[in-house]
Amino acid sequence: MSGGLFDDLRDLYQEVILDHGRKPRNFRRLDDADRTARGDNPMCGDRMELFVKLAPDGHIEDATFEGRGCAISMASASLMTDTVKGKTQAQARQMGENFRALAMTGVCPDCGGDIADDMERLAPLSGVHDFPSRVKCATLAWHTLNAALDGGAKEASSE
Amino acid sequence: MDGHVAPRLNLDAVRADFPILAEKVRGKPFTFLDSGASAQKPRQVIGAMVRMMETAYANVHRGAYHMSEQATEAYEAARGAVARFLNAGDVREIIFTGSSTNAINLVAHSYGRGVMKPGQAVVISEMEHHANIVPWQMARDAVGIELRVCRITDSGELDLDDLAAKLADGKVGLVAVTHMSNVLGTVTPAAQIARMAHEAGAKVLFDGSQAAVHRRVDVREIDADFYVFTGHKLYGPTGIGVLYAKGELQEAMPPFLGGGDMIAEVFFEKSVWAPYPAKFEAGTPPIIEAIGLHAAIDYVNAIGMSAIEAHERALVDRAMARLPQIEGVTLLGRAQDRGGVFAFAIDTAHAHDVATLLDRAGIAVRSGRHCAEPLHERFGVESTCRASFGLYTTPAEVDLLADALHQAREFFR
């Protein structure tokens, strides 16, 4: 890394985000997905397709995605699919609510309790709250997850 | 230029005219490289608009009182200034609209739906702004005209062989293409396109939103039937656009919008249209904006369009020397005749991440698809960053961009 022009952007682009952005986890189709949804940020060119496999009791057995977009949107989808695995749908939706608060304000008063560890994993993305035009990049994956859980082949947008 | 040396543009003096250029962004000098989206405004424009509101404002074409007469005179003087700016033969060939988009929609409605016949075709190109695509799709769906898309070459120039092929069956009623691409910077050979269109019996519209800002436009020399540009990219205000349209065409075209100012007589059974161009200016027009546009035209004329063109030519040469040298940076389009608009992708990073980094260095560029989604598909790229220059852009800013792009690529490696 040469020069220091962008050093203060390390709050936004933390190493974990750059890593997940470059090598997104769970980046594959799920052919036996029970729920899918497409997410699109038309302004940015971020596009993703999310796949969710549900267990018989309804909890999220597996979550994967494919798509193209900026480092923030890819890292967010990567971290999200990692963290919602094994959660009930209600828990996943609650995490999404909390994540949106985190992305918009940088803090999350309701991030304690049984999801505290998972929210901690998502915390590196909280830096986007300083970049209003980038918040929607971080939240796209969660909007898309809601659309998938709502059922149907809806298109989500965080516009 | 016949051995004539273009007057040089005094960059320091020009920059001092634009108050916003003294602003700091994130503690750094404001490096504004997004004039292609909307240009900044000089004091001369701001002052003219404020003076109008403070000393000479009333509605136009209505009041039999001093202020209204004075406002009408100023509004019509702005029309005269636009006519001279484009070298139109008749001041009545200038229609004021709300924007370039409005102007193209006016033509798509009044000419595309009102004059063209079902079965006739409109030719656009692959490098159009959405504003010169969507209105024609709407006209196509409404009245059954055909929409043909002329290809561009890999270097980003209009494929004139394909244009000839698209014109060959004589069914084309209108060729509507950009005079300068808002993504590739390509300047199209307007006079040649007009000749080809006319020989095939078609009319021609040029979207000059970018071109009119960067070089002298002569609508009679290129023989345009319609020519469109907007105030806010020409250092003027938002909310005003211009449609140049030949008188005989305006005569044949039905109005676009109905309302006050565009009628001669109104009865409940019917109305009689006012003569052109009033027929196309329904309602209270953008009066203050017209005064601002007049001031902007006076401003660029005082500097000289040839001096502006020479200055920007030097910036383009510098950018062409520096940007392609940066490892991992790919420029979209390599047109021979181009203006100061550069779209590029970086191999290690998405356009939005690059734009966020550049913003941290005080550099404003646009990122995304720049209202030209089909063009990005054409080049197989998801999105790009775009740097665009204005008359106040400095060579040092071009260098700063190049240095910052190099560091941005390293940052994401």
Burial B154-181 (b: 16+ CB within 10 A, else e): eebbbbeebbeebbeeebbbbbbbbbbb
pLDDT of residue B111: 97
Cβ distance of B382 and A68 shorter than 8 Å: yes
- Look at chain A and count its residues: 159
Q: Please, where are the H alpha helices in A23-157? A: 71-84, 89-105, 116-122, 135-149
Cβ distance of B352 and A137 shorter than 8 Å: yes
Contacts of A2 in chain B (CB under 8 A): 407, 410
ipTM given for this complex? 0.84
- Residue B258 CB neighbours (<10 A): 12
Q: Which amino acid is at B176?
A: A
Structure pTM?
0.91
pLDDT of residue B86: 98
| CA–CA dist B402, B321 (Å, integer) | 10
pLDDT of residue A1: 40
Contacts of A9 in chain B (CB under 8 A): 356-357, 360, 411
Cβ distance of A44 and B361 shorter than 8 Å: no
pLDDT of residue A46: 82
A14 and chain B in contact, CB less than 8 A: no
Question: Which residue from A3, A43, A71 is facing B407, i.e. has the nearest CB?
Answer: A3
Q: Please give chain B's pLDDT, 413 residues, in tens.
A: 444 566 789 999 999 999 999 999 988 999 999 999 999 999 999 999 999 999 999 999 887 899 999 999 999 999 999 999 999 999 999 999 999 999 999 999 999 999 999 999 999 999 999 999 999 999 999 999 999 999 999 999 999 999 999 999 999 999 999 999 999 999 999 999 999 999 999 999 999 999 999 999 999 999 999 999 999 999 999 999 999 999 999 999 999 999 888 888 899 899 999 999 999 999 999 999 999 999 999 999 999 999 999 999 999 999 999 999 999 999 999 998 999 999 999 998 899 999 999 998 999 999 988 888 888 888 888 889 999 999 999 999 999 999 999 999 999 88
pLDDT of residue B1: 44
Question: What is the phi-psi region of residue A52: left when phi exceeds 0, alpha when psi lies from -120 to 50, beta otherwise?
Answer: beta
Strand partners, B205: B176, B226
- A2 has pLDDT over 50: no
Does the annotation count B385 as an active-site position? no
Separation in Å, CA of A53 to nearest CA in chain B: 29
Label the pairing between strands B226-230 and B203-207: parallel
Cβ distance of A6 and B361 shorter than 8 Å: yes
Burial B329-343 (b: 16+ CB within 10 A, else e): bebbbbbeebbbbbb
Q: Which amino acid is at A68?
A: R
Please report the sign of the dihedral spanned by the C-alpha atoms of residue A13, residue A19, residue A22, residue A26: negative
| CA–CA dist A124, A116 (Å, integer) | 14
Report the Cα–Cα distance between both ends of chain B, in Å, rounded.
Answer: 47
CA angle B130, B211, B286 (to 5 degrees): 70
In tens, the pLDDT along B261-303 reads 888 889 989 999 999 999 999 999 999 999 999 999 999 999 9
Three-class SS state of B397: helix
Rounded mean pLDDT, A11-34: 92
Burial class (CB in 10 A: 0-12, 13-18, 19+), B136: buried
3-state helix, strand, coil in chain A (%, to 5): 50, 20, 30
Query: Could you tell me if B376 and B368 are in contact, meaning their C-beta atoms sit under 8 angstroms apart?
Result: no
Q: Which amino acid is at A111?
A: C
Cβ distance of B356 and A131 shorter than 8 Å: yes
SS3 annotation, B379-395: CCCCCEEEEECCCCCCH
- A152 has pLDDT over 70: no
pLDDT of residue B32: 98
Which of the residues A70, A128, A136 would you substitute to probe the B interface, choosing the one with the greatest number of B C-beta atoms within 10 Å? A70
